[in-house]
Structure 1
Amino acid sequence: MTAPFSSLLVANRGEIALRVFRTCADLGIRTVAVATPADAEAPHARAADRTVAVDSYLDATAVVAAAVAAGAEAVHPGYGFLSENAVFARAVLDAGLVWVGPSPEVIDLMGRKDRARDAAEAAGVPVVPAYPVDGDPAGFDLPVLVKAAAGGGGKGMRVVRRVEEYADALAAARREAAASFGDDTLLVEKYVERGRHVEVQVLGLADGTVLHLRDRDCSAQRRHQKVLEEAPAPTRSEAEATAAEARWTDAARLAASVGYVGAGTVELLLDVETGRHYFLEMNTRLQVEHPVTELISGVDLVAAQLRVAAGEDPGLGTQDDLRFAGHAMEARVYAEDAWGGFLPQAGTATHVAWPTEVTGGGSGGVTVRVDHALGSGQRITTSYDPMLGKVVVHAPDRESARAALVRALEETAVLGVVTNTGFLRALAASAAYADLGLPGGLDTSWLDRVEIGGPDLPAPDEAAARALVAAELARRDASATRGPFALDGWRSAAAPAPHVVPWLAPAPVAGEEPVVPTDVSPAGRLGVLRRSAHAVEAVVDGQRWRFEEPDPFAPTAAAAGDGALAAPMPGTVTSVAVGEGEVVEAGQVLVTMEAMKMELALRAPFDGVVTTVVAVVGRQVALGDLLLEVGADA
């Protein structure tokens, strides 16, 4: 089969650029990358046949000029950045290039939640009740969801449960929407307390036919951002299976009604209490979670996109010709501290180990796939989305897929930077996720309702991690010595002495030595361990730990008082609301920060007076940097 294009530019970076390049390599298509100066040596820049420098991935004019200069025949937008930008799509077409995606007119229509909602109603697809943005919240059926009409990814969304919260929620959502999408238009809809996020993958062909590739469940979310995804969406009864078919049909009908061509996703909200589904929005591009659909369908969605964009038949046949098998799950690995409020992280990934990929169904029929763009020694910044990669598995059924995902996450190890891998493993192994689709199981707001690190989702046990690490160090020390100097604990007329690591072993019971248990085995739990002169860094059950030997000469008092506000994440200071000498009240917002499009407000810890202001608007700060201090009001 001939290649649909001779060359293709991917207007994106990171793992999605590499993902598209893989299919291009299979089809014999020459690849072109764009890269900012900071990304000159990034994996996607090195992997392309040719790389063109641009100052920003959001500069549509520069990206189109790069495609023309490199002799690219077509442009694939990936996701994020300019992928749902109709102006960019028109610029690509005006330059005489092929746009891999729906027409600019359809992007304009379906890429905005407000217009897409109207289109869904016209197509007979159910929608969530809505309210006027400038209406009186006292007349709303609270709670409601305030959300940005443009864009996605959970940006510009706020849940309002009380009338007095409405004005602040509108203001915050507008700021975030303007910063993320350059458009602060908002929608207000009834908020479904217990809902599942189910989306249908559609593929519109050049002849007007729309195929669906069934659905995905993306209900594992925090702050409206997806964490785990799976395909197909679990159904536990014949009635639920029938309802699923209705969702697929609704999605395909909506896409056909607007003349959709290419790959797209119709996102639906499934009310857990009633079983009814409602249209949420349409993503006019490839989704981050597309691999789970590829694994259950056997369809290369990127190849299908390219064939359709070239005006060709992708060779999938009719809807009845499509075949689906097994269950797939995907976990998004982020540079963030999930156990510490999901705050973004930055730094150098000193060591990176991804699970070994298995294709075609390995032991137990399990396939493991990793889409990533992160290797050892790579610098992670807050300039882009915090996603580092995706760990994806496929197995004959949901439970075996869940077990395979837990194992794959245990094999994932990133040192040097905090990631959410341990959290993902704990979530995938939790009873709530096992019961997704059942009463009491996980839904879209579960992660926002439960205590992260509480009984429903326990945090990793530091004492157990210390014991495992110490036991492994003891084993290494013992195996490194021989003969009369062997660390075997031998002593005359007594039982062998224990291997004592005073600063690393778990805290001892009063009156006892900090002894490493002899029955602790790191096998299967300890992913990787790196030792330095006075510290050890390890991954246990997917969770990164760093244990440092206490410095006996370090001052015991804190460098800053209780009123010190330090940066809880690396990022940019966006506002400083007070000056030195001002009187503040407990809970008053003093400084706001932004990182990876997430806004964070820092508040006064108590009533007092601002004694020091270090924060400067627009300045980059590192994790732990002092921003401001509040002293007690004499």
Structure 2
Amino acid sequence: MSEITKILIANRGEIALRIIRTARAMGIATVAVYSDADRDAAHVIAADEAVRIGAGAADSSAPAASYLNIDALLRAAKETGADAVHPGYGFLSERAEFARRCGEAGLVFIGPPPEVIEAMGRKDYARRVAEQAAVPVLPTYRPDDPAMRLPVLVKAAAGGGGKGMRIVRYAADLPEALAAAQREAESAFGDGTMLIERYVEHGRHVEVQVLADAHGNVLHLGERDCSVQRRHQKVVEESPAPTISAAARESLLDAAVRLAAQVGYVNAGTVEFLVTGDEFFLLEMNTRLQVEHPVTELVTGLDLVELQIRVAAGEPLPLRQEQVSSHGHAIEVRVYAEDADHGFLPQAGRAGVVAWPRGEGVRVDAALRSFDEVSAWYDPMIGKVTGYGRDRECARETVLAALTRTRIDGLTTNLGFLSALLGSAQFAEAAIDTAWLDRNPDLPLHPRLGADGPTPFDLLDGWRLAGPPRPAQARVERSRASSSSAAAVLDGVVRAPMPGTVIALKAGPGQRVSAGEALGALEAMKMEHTLTAPHDGVVTRVGACVGDQVPIGAELFVVESPAGEEPAGEAAEGEDLP
């Protein structure tokens, strides 16, 4: 066994704080690493030591220069005398090369062996392992396969988290979807290999938490339902899964354990399934700790990070399968800096006053403090609020009450959206699937539970608390791109909806374009956003080049209608003007 006395945490934000909390309770020292954008971040202050990572005096805010910089991370571990590395999730957590190089440097990697990460980190190889373990998989197709049945899902063979995924319903859209998903996958994972597989319209996303040691013991810690998603990324997670039958649950749990045993898994991991009726199919295996691990911890009473550390040190698991039990229900919501009313566009900027909720049954995992900066360099998730109760309804009400006590000034967040979501009759009845949010863009208008009649705030007469009525307003229709576009458009001008990097230009000056046609693509906060033409016309100006870093509101394209023609694009939502 290896004694672990100091852990370098190769990550940032709330997961770094989460690891620090358990390590401190175990008497283990911690080392935080930070980029220039995170110089004053909460995890930097909380750790016993902190090291800036990056090359020379250059700005190390970009992930490639900091949290993805293996050489810099290994140097930091050596300089501080760390004997172990915890990768958290995201960044290098599922990079086999990082795990391998940690081992070569004499560091304990708190995660599975590199060969297992390499095998299960690739969805194509994971399919083969699943077939060997008699775990069902979805059919896949070649791009030119005459047997292909639409719709299909294009997804990256490496990585996860919704990056490099596109739903394709029409054959003509497949080439562009493949190209866009490939670019996103190469940027996020350094690997653009794609899979095309059958898309199940009304499936549920149910995953199983597994834990294995180096002594041949493999356990499951129950399942989680993660069906509420946008952009193929999870928004709400809960345990236990509310709609699967006892027989389906038993089959899922057994399949996950078989898969982990088949590949020789060690440490914590998650086997993800798509469930439709009593059928289920393997989606992928995540070879790391999951964002949603708090719901499992709340219903089982186990500390997954502590178990990870003990397994990495060579200890056998301290419990048997029959000793694992689940009690009550837990629901977690992810709080994002994003505009839920406009395509869930990520937001960046400085927060004002921030107050996270407290109370019985409430758990908060967050690193955002008052007046912190939310950088455009990283994922827009700023925290997680989890509620625990004796049953699902109790947990739901706990989270709803906690959200009302959450305050984040100065940033556009999804707090209101989360309240509407959990307060909807559909969520309360668990009548949801992975495409539920896509089918319900008007979610806030859905019937709420426990309606107590109209209040002054429900009336559109200008009433205000402690003040005169708001003045009458006019509604002005403005031209805007289609709802699938990330562009903010005014009078044919397509502007950057957030700070980001221009990664593709598809139209140049003088080119005639149609409404909704792709003009280019912007990458921001780990996501790719397509910029589209607001109406038929001619591109008269392109304001950036591929590779340019652009600020929010930057003028990227101008599309003018030919003389004498009215713009034929989609009418915009009305905006209220004083």
TM-score range, shorter chain: 0.7 to 0.9
Distance 1:574 1:168 in 2: 15
> Quick check: 2:420–2:443 contact (8 Å CA) kept in 1?
no
Equivalent runs, 1:44-83 vs 2, <5 Å = 44-55=43-54, 56-83=66-93
Letter in 2 for 1:261: V
Partner SS state of residue 109, structure 1: helix
Equivalent runs, 1:124-523 vs 2, <5 Å = 124-132=134-142, 134-136=143-145, 138-235=146-243, 240-271=245-276, 274-315=277-318, 317-356=319-358, 358=359, 362=360, 367-436=361-430, 441-453=431-443, 455-456=445-446, 464=457, 471-472=464-465, 474=466, 499-503=467-471
Partner SS state of residue 263, structure 1: strand
Distance 2:125 2:185 in 1: 17
Letter in 1 for 2:28: I
Distance 1:413 1:201 in 2: 32
Letter in 1 for 2:413: T
Cα displacement string for residues 408-427 of structure 1 (whole angstroms, at most 9, x for unaligned residues): 11111111110111111111
Partner SS state of residue 339, structure 1: coil
Closer/same/farther in 2, CA of residues 469 and 321 from structure 1, 3 Å limit: farther
Cα deviation, residue 453, structure 1: 4.5
Give 5+ residue unaligned stretches, structure 1: 475-498, 509-559
Cα deviation, residue 314, structure 1: 4.1
Cα deviation, residue 616, structure 1: 3.6
Partner SS state of residue 134, structure 2: coil
Distance 1:28 1:406 in 2: 36
Cα deviation, residue 205, structure 1: 1.7
Letter in 1 for 2:22: T
Provide the identity percentage. Answer: 55
Equivalent runs, 1:18-97 vs 2, <5 Å = 18-55=17-54, 56-97=66-107
Distance 2:461 2:224 in 1: 38
Partner SS state of residue 586, structure 1: coil
Cα displacement string for residues 465-488 of structure 1 (whole angstroms, at most 9, x for unaligned residues): 89999755x2xxxxxxxxxxxxxx
Cα deviation, residue 628, structure 1: 2.3
2:524 equivalent in structure 1: 595
Closer/same/farther in 2, CA of residues 393 and 3 from structure 1, 3 Å limit: farther
Partner SS state of residue 340, structure 1: coil
Task: Between 574-583 and 329-338, report the one with greater CA deviation.
Answer: 574-583
> Quick check: 2:228–2:234 contact (8 Å CA) kept in 1?
yes
Q: Would you say 1:569 and 2:498 are equivalent positions?
A: yes
> Quick check: 2:331–2:399 contact (8 Å CA) kept in 1?
yes
TM-score by length of 1: 0.80
RMSD: 2.4
Distance 2:228 2:114 in 1: 32
Distance 1:179 1:466 in 2: 47
> Quick check: 1:200–1:216 contact (8 Å CA) kept in 2?
yes
Q: Would you say 1:610 and 2:539 are equivalent positions?
A: yes
Cα displacement string for residues 154-213 of structure 1 (whole angstroms, at most 9, x for unaligned residues): 111111222222222211211111111110111111111110000000000221110110
Cα deviation, residue 462, structure 1: 13
Distance 1:98 1:3 in 2: 8
Closer/same/farther in 2, CA of residues 457 and 88 from structure 1, 3 Å limit: farther
> Quick check: 1:12–1:57 contact (8 Å CA) kept in 2?
yes
> Quick check: 2:130–2:137 contact (8 Å CA) kept in 1?
yes
1:586 equivalent in structure 2: 515
Q: Would you say 1:110 and 2:115 are equivalent positions?
A: no
Cα deviation, residue 33, structure 1: 0.8
Cα deviation, residue 607, structure 1: 2.5
Cα deviation, residue 572, structure 1: 2.1
Give 5+ residue unaligned stretches, structure 2: 55-65, 449-453, 475-488, 564-578
Cα displacement string for residues 67-88 of structure 1 (whole angstroms, at most 9, x for unaligned residues): 1111011100100000001110
Partner SS state of residue 131, structure 1: coil
> Quick check: 2:420–2:444 contact (8 Å CA) kept in 1?
no
Distance 1:410 1:69 in 2: 45
Letter in 2 for 1:287: Q
TM-score by length of 2: 0.88
Cα deviation, residue 245, structure 1: 1.2
Distance 1:196 1:164 in 2: 28
Distance 2:498 2:457 in 1: 27
Distance 2:417 2:106 in 1: 47
Cα displacement string for residues 134-157 of structure 1 (whole angstroms, at most 9, x for unaligned residues): 433x42122111110000001111
> Quick check: 1:3–1:28 contact (8 Å CA) kept in 2?
no
Partner SS state of residue 82, structure 1: coil
Distance 2:305 2:71 in 1: 24
Closer/same/farther in 2, CA of residues 452 and 60 from structure 1, 3 Å limit: farther
Distance 2:213 2:314 in 1: 8
Cα deviation, residue 561, structure 1: 5.9
Cα deviation, residue 38, structure 1: 1.8
1:100 equivalent in structure 2: 110
Distance 2:396 2:171 in 1: 41
> Quick check: 1:3–1:29 contact (8 Å CA) kept in 2?
no
Closer/same/farther in 2, CA of residues 173 and 591 from structure 1, 3 Å limit: closer
> Quick check: 1:235–1:241 contact (8 Å CA) kept in 2?
no
Letter in 2 for 1:406: L
Distance 1:466 1:71 in 2: 63
